[in-house]
Amino acid sequence: MLQKDRDLIIDANIYLGNWALRRITGGNADAVIQMMDSFEIEKAFVSSMNGVLYRNCNEANIELLDGIGGTYDRLVTFAVINPAYPGWEDDIVDCFEEFGFQGVKIHPGFHGYRIADEQVQPFFQELQERGIPISYSARMEEGIEHWALRGLENPTGREVDKLLSDFPGLRMLITDLIGFDDIYAQLIPRENLWLDISHLRRGDELEVMVKRFGASRLVYGSAFPFRCINSPMIVMEHARISEQERDAIMGLNAERFLNE
């Protein structure tokens, strides 16, 4: 069983804000902190769901900072940046030299580019040079859930693998892999690749992930408030993995991804 007194639990995939396509509750800092306390989650990587749909993502980043108040010790901020939007260079300067963000969250499907596109390669080069970790949301919801989502293109493992091969100093965490089983067959385990477990529903699915990528490449992530914050905990309880592997997935790997 999953112990309640383990040393460190970090949720590497939480959203704050409002979602335009359906009503979502719990997308504010107070609600998130309350949920984290309920399940003894020490820290969470947070980004703005508003930034997914705003034309200018940086407006949503500013809103995020205004909304989290004095919870910087618990909520680790990831800036939503769109490298296909003119002025992304200024957004990086604002977010990492002035605002104090600690990572970048990208949403290629919503923002109309693919990570293999030539025009966005300078963006990844800049992140590599600055040592900024990047969280890549494959898709926050299934396309069948809303008409506006049905035109989004799925990511491919080959694109991710080529990017990480071209930029070996780029640390990437892939989140929200709902409905994308094919991506695992194409992904090659790499030292600069991490994956969250927010999409898993059974313990045997986690066992397969551990065997395929190694426990050191997986991180706890819930995609709250789109999904229940403790769903991955239930998966962890039923997975036949060691306590050392559980500790790594629950928090140590996320800490290493952020600070390596």
Q: pLDDT tens, 44-102?
A: 999 999 998 888 999 999 999 999 987 888 999 999 999 999 999 999 999 999 999 99
Contact 46, 68 (CB under 8 A): yes
Task: Please tell me whether residue 91 adopts helix, strand or coil conformation.
Answer: helix
CA 155 from chain center: how many Å? 14
pTM: 0.91
Q: What is the pLDDT of residues 92-119, one digit of tens each?
A: 999 999 999 999 999 998 888 999 999 9
Q: What is the mean pLDDT of the chain?
A: 88
- Give the pLDDT confidence score for residue 4 in this predicted structure: 45
Closest CA to 46 of 30, 55, 38, 54: 30
Side chain identity at residue 227, one-letter code: R
Whether the predicted pLDDT of 6 surpasses 70: no
- Give the pLDDT confidence score for residue 139 in this predicted structure: 74
- Superfamily of chain region 10-259: Metal-dependent hydrolases (3.20.20.140)
